[in-house]
Amino acid sequence: MREKSLAGLICIGLMLLAAAANAASVTVPAAASLAPLPALSPQPREALVDQAIAGILERYHYNKAPLDKALSEQIFFHYLQNLDPNRSYFLQSDIDSFTPYSDSLGDAIRNGNLHPAFAIYNVYQQRVQQRIQYALGLLSKEPDFDVKESYAFDRSKAPWATSVSQLNDLWRQRVKNDALGLLLAGKSWKQTVEILRKRYQNIEYRARQIAPADVFDLFMNSYTLSLDPHTNYFSPDQSQEFQIQMSLKLQGIGAALISEGEYTRVDRVIPGGPAARSKQLHPDDRITGVAQGDQGGMVDVVGWRLDDVVQLIRGPKGSVVRLQILPAGAPPGSPEKVLRLVRDTVKLEAQAAHKNVISVTRAKHSYKIGVITIPAFYSDFAGRMEGEANYTSTTRDVRKLLLELEAEHVDGVVIDLRNNGGGALDEATKLTGLFIPHGPVVQIRHRDGRVDVLDDDDSGIVYRGPLAVLVNRFTASASEIFAAAIQDYHRGLIIGSDTYGKGSVQTLFDLNRIVPGNQDAGQLKLTVDKFYRVNGASTQRKGVTPDITLPSNIDPQEFGEETQDDALPWDQIAAVDYSPLHLGIAAMLPKLDKLHSERTAHSPAWALYLDGLRLLAQERAEKSVPLLLTARAAQRSDRDRERLALANGWRKLKGLPPAANLEAAYKLAESGADKAHDTTEQDTGADDAAALVPDVLLQETARIAADMAALGVGNLPPAPASP
């Protein structure tokens, strides 16, 4: 499980919003002083906020966890992991010296005593400075790259170093690995030294900028995350960022960034933003450099504060920003790619449901399959309350799209919920009603044990034909409720991979309501309820298991509720009274699965897709990299050769000639002949790689929907004729 830093936990800079200041105003000193870092101490008001948070969580959080010894130990664990996730700074002797705090942090929090948290942090500050001094000293001499050794870059589960000499050796390997990656990228040793000197000084500079409020935020979120992954404390500044994010009045690249160790990592890409439209930026990518315009120099941002990186990426609408990316799963020192993005306003219409039609030929018969993509469950609550006739609504939009598809005489419909993280619960309930008769859709269990049932209160059915719902690991929350209801009612097939498993409900609490004084105290987001399917099973942790599973490029060991520390458990309550539909889907599922398996076994595109997953799995499996120059160069060469073979495989399927190198392999837009073979519009900002590689999962789901149509499976009886 990936350990997230404070900024990651509270999602500072969630959307890379409108340019509040010019990116050029962000300045990190070229040579930060290594004078001793000052000790930090808590501010008096923070004790009041601390006690308010404790009181609210003990009284209102879903799991009713008291601040006892067990929870204290969890807070202690999270705090250390948030400070030093890769175990690169603390010594075992430090951990031993902190141990007396481990079972008393709960009492300290309840009493407003923050001194233990600050005592631990001040030791951490010292260790950071010592490590940076050591790393900078290593740059005086070029390492010996002819020594056969390796660098274990993932130390999240490793034991703490037991001596300074052991820690020194870990950092010697780290510096060597950082240098090796730059040298293989074409940098000279002199250039490498300059880049790494600035990088390591940035880490020290970032530590020097930490204020008592930052330590308080970190410690409070170590407490909240010990209850569940979705309970967070928002400081006043973070509350403002959160409110801007919720307003969706955004300008920038449209990505949620978090800080993870010394990297700025992409948490998610916002539908409708420049990053989403480009299809070039992906969750788990790490941003290592930022450049302004097409000619600006690349600024190395490893070790920077998240808010400084965000400030550098922000800028006026229409301006260009270039990001240097270490791709998801790639070890440190791997080849990086540069992405060019044009800053823009997040387009709300791009977040709306939209449709297209896929033609599938089966036994000389052509089937038309309508596809409705729903990026999120949205609703204009204010417009609805004010009685607006055409307020924005997922259900209203999908109803309109279904009627349009019916007019086009489609033979089946696919609802694409991939990467849909949820949204308005009411919309998920109403959307279900477009496909089923009147009945319950979801149960909500409250902290006190009360259970509410949300029903589809409209007996009308908009679409009665074969239905498939395509999901993946990033299908979460309200999306899972819709998919679960469709599955429980046997109304359609769920296709794809196991969903995320977020089966909890959060609410925001304004701390200013109970903390005295004129200063802003921030907000608390806490978990208060859980979702349950109509069959009584929770969607928490387990999510929704597809009827037909498709292989995914999302690692379930890295993403999903069950990978999160202290996630609420799965459980079950009584089922509600509902009537599954008898449309032949369950009886014909073995036949449909067999047709799918036989088809993909002989599909060249499917084989190439699996080859891509195999390469990705190989990279993810690596926990160390060679520090021998010849071995690293050979590893990189082998990987590039495999990637080129894969890209040329896709080119062959498109009727394109093979490319000589990776850069040329994906440049479809430069050739008129390439455009003739490519059905993706080139003026939308779509990445050439996305244009080259088809959406094989969506295509196969459409084929399964065509199988349903051919077999006469999944059709509701016609609506009764009007008198």
Which are the catalytic amino acids?
477, 488, 502
Hey, CA dihedral for 109, 235, 254, 347, is it positive or negative? positive
Would you state the structure tokens that stand for residue 195, as one six-digit string? 């880049």
Q: How many residues does the chain have?
A: 723
Angle at 427 between CA 530 and CA 455, to 5 degrees: 65
Q: What residue type is 99 in one-letter code? A: T
Helix, strand, or coil (residue 231):
coil
State the Cα–Cα distance between residues 492 and 468, nearest whole angstrom: 5
Residue 64 Rama label (left phi>0; alpha psi -120 to 50; beta): left
Q: Is 28 helix (H, G, I), strand (E, B) or coil?
A: coil
Quick one: angle between helices 164-184 and 115-138, nearest 10? 60
Q: Is the C-alpha dihedral spanning 573, 560, 154, 125 positive or negative?
A: negative
Strand 354-362's sheet: what is its strand order?
A: 354-362, 365-373, 412-416, 467-471, 493-496, 548-549
269's CB contacts (< 8 A; 6+ apart) are 254, 255, 256, 275, 276, 281, 282, 283
Distance between CA atoms of residues 328 and 267, nearest Å = 11
Residue labelled with tokens 């960034």: 257
Q: State how far the Cα of 484 lies from the Cα of 261, in Å rounded to an integer.
A: 36
Amino acid at site 378: Y
Spatial distance between the Cα atoms of 163 and 340, rounded to a whole number of angstroms? 44
DSSP 518-529: SS---EEEEEEE
Q: What are phi and psi of 81, to 5 degrees?
A: -70, -35
| Euclidean distance between the first and the last CA atom of the chain, given in angstroms as a whole number | 60
The bridge status of strand 493-496 relative to strand 548-549 is: parallel
Q: Which residues contact 90 (CB under 8 A, 6 or more apart)?
A: 80, 83, 84, 123, 124, 127, 160, 161
CA 584 to CA 447: how far, in whole Å?
A: 39
Angle at 567 between CA 565 and CA 568, to 5 degrees: 150
How far is CA 613 from each of CA 8, 153, 291, 606, 616, rounded to the nearest angstrom?
27, 22, 31, 11, 5
Taking the C-alpha atoms of residue 480 and residue 545, their distance in angstroms, rounded to an integer, is 10
What b/e sequence results for 705-716 when a residue is b if at least 16 CB atoms lie within 10 Å of its CB, and e otherwise? bbbbbbeebbeb
DSSP characters for 498-512?
A: ------EEEEEEEGG
Q: What separation in angstroms does the CA of 617 have from each of 442, 598, 620?
A: 36, 24, 5
On whether the CB atoms of residues 213 and 44 are closer than 8 A, the answer is no
Closest CA to 527 of 57, 101, 9, 31: 57
Please state whether beta strands 320-326 and 337-342 pair in parallel, antiparallel, or not at all (unpaired).
antiparallel
286 beta partners: 265, 326
